[in-house]
Amino acid sequence: MANVVVVGSQWGDEGKGKIVDWLSERADVVVRFQGGHNAGHTLVIDGISYKLAMLPSGVVREGKLSMIGNGVVVDPYAFIAEIAKLKGQGVEVTPEKLRLADNATLILSLHRELDQWRESSNPGTRIGTTGRGIGPAYEDKVGRRAIRVMDLKTLDTLRPKIERLLSHHNALRRGYGQPEVAVETIYAELADVAAPLIPYIDTVWRLLDQHRRAGDRILFEGAQGALLDIDHGTYPFVTSSNTVAAQAATGSGLGPGAIGYVLGITKAYTTRVGEGPFPTEQKNDVGEFLGSRGKEFGTNTGRKRRCGWFDAVLVRQIVQVSGINGIALTKLDVLDGLDEIQVCVKYRLDGEELDYFPAAQGAQARVEPIYETVPGWKESTRGARSWAELPAQAVKYVRYIEELIGAPVAMLSTSPERDDTILVQDPFQD
């Protein structure tokens, strides 16, 4: 049996939550390996909607072990609140069900404040972050001044670490004209969350290795999308972590040899939240149609998503960069009823054709999509659970996408409901 990595192959919001939840029935362990509580995953199970941000999607399934890996930045208050929210929906998230990496970095109140000041200080350079402190927390991690989850177990050693952190942050705060933070303020914040978090803390890399050696099937859950990757995304309009499949190894502590299959979650059209280039964006009736039919609003932020046609160039590039073995195509039903559908197959840049997305910011802003037009279908695909239930033209559209991106469709999702899924290839099978 193969361990499976799930990544988004676009700018996020592709429907990873449902797919991970669906796959978790076949998994023994589900692990988040990057990002923070800025990544909203919606699961619909028996008509009940669960909205997750930080916790792995496996927590809503009984008998599964979920883990938060070292690659995740953890807001302790968001962690506590999300567990409490699920408890209110009848899902108990106990330490026996969820483990938290001791070497993960913590998000503090000063990270959230800095994030928000940056976004509001200069509209000309807005990135479009959620303002939840994700980026500043990663900066402190790389700057070797972060407070980590393990530090909550030894509060008596925290003050020197906080002083080192504040020597950096108070200088920034002065630059923004904001009051400095006292060591005792941050210490009190950490002391407040220590008791609730400590029961969940574990050496996740070691625990994962034990499960791998025991033959358990591991599902690695990514957040956001690969086009938001700090290296391979639309820089600087990206997130602050690596979101491609290789991060599953680094962000969990389990070596790359443990990864057997990479599944790329891919929406049948394209959406994006926040600033940055979007070659196939439709600022017209088509975009409004896709947004309305697809209910394109952020799970946690409520922000309206930008919508456009499927961009095969971008997805093909992510298939290559992320080593995707197969895709799970989602939201095909949103395209129901269209007379014709456009697909971007190449770009035009300064009079020349390109079959890839350039790295330079200026070039990314200037590329023009070259479309192929394919017939739509009038019949409904919503709720289909076999190929035979799909309109012939919908099947042709799926096959056309496979050809353009160079990867097969392993799964096809036809509604938010867990069981409305057509399985073509089980990613857990070698």
Catalytic residue positions? 13, 41
Tokens 């950490």, located at residue? 190
Output the 3-class SS for the chain: CCCEEEEECCCCCCCHHHHHHHHHCCCCEEEECCECCCCCEEEEECCEEEEECCCCHHHHCCCCEEEECCCEEECHHHHHHHHHHHHHCCCCCCCCCEEEECCCEECCHHHHHHHHHHHHHCHHHCCCCCCCCHHHHHHHHHCCCCCEHHHHHCHHHHHHHHHHHHHHHHHHHHHCCCCCCCHHHHHHHHHHHHHHHHHHEECHHHHHHHHHHCCCCEEEECCCCHHHCCCCCCCCCCCCCCCCCCHHHHCCCCCHHHCCEEEEEEECCEEECCCCCCCCECCCHHHHHHHHHCCCECCCCCCECEEECEEHHHHHHHHHHCCCCEEEEECHHHHCCCCEEEEEEEEEECCEEECCCCCCHHHHHHCEEEEEEEECCCCCCCCCCCHHHCCHHHHHHHHHHHHHHCCCEEEEECCCECCCEEECCCCCCC
Contact 29, 286 (CB under 8 A): no
CB-based contacts of 311, cutoff 8 Å, min separation 6: 10, 270, 279, 280, 344, 369
Calculate the CA 55 to chain-centre distance. Answer: 12
Residue 53 to residue 347: CA distance in whole angstroms? 34
Give the pair of three-digit tokens for residue 370: 């070259």
Residue 200 to residue 72: CA distance in whole angstroms? 15
HSE (side-chain half, CA atoms, 13 Å) at 130: 21
Contact 136, 146 (CB under 8 A): no
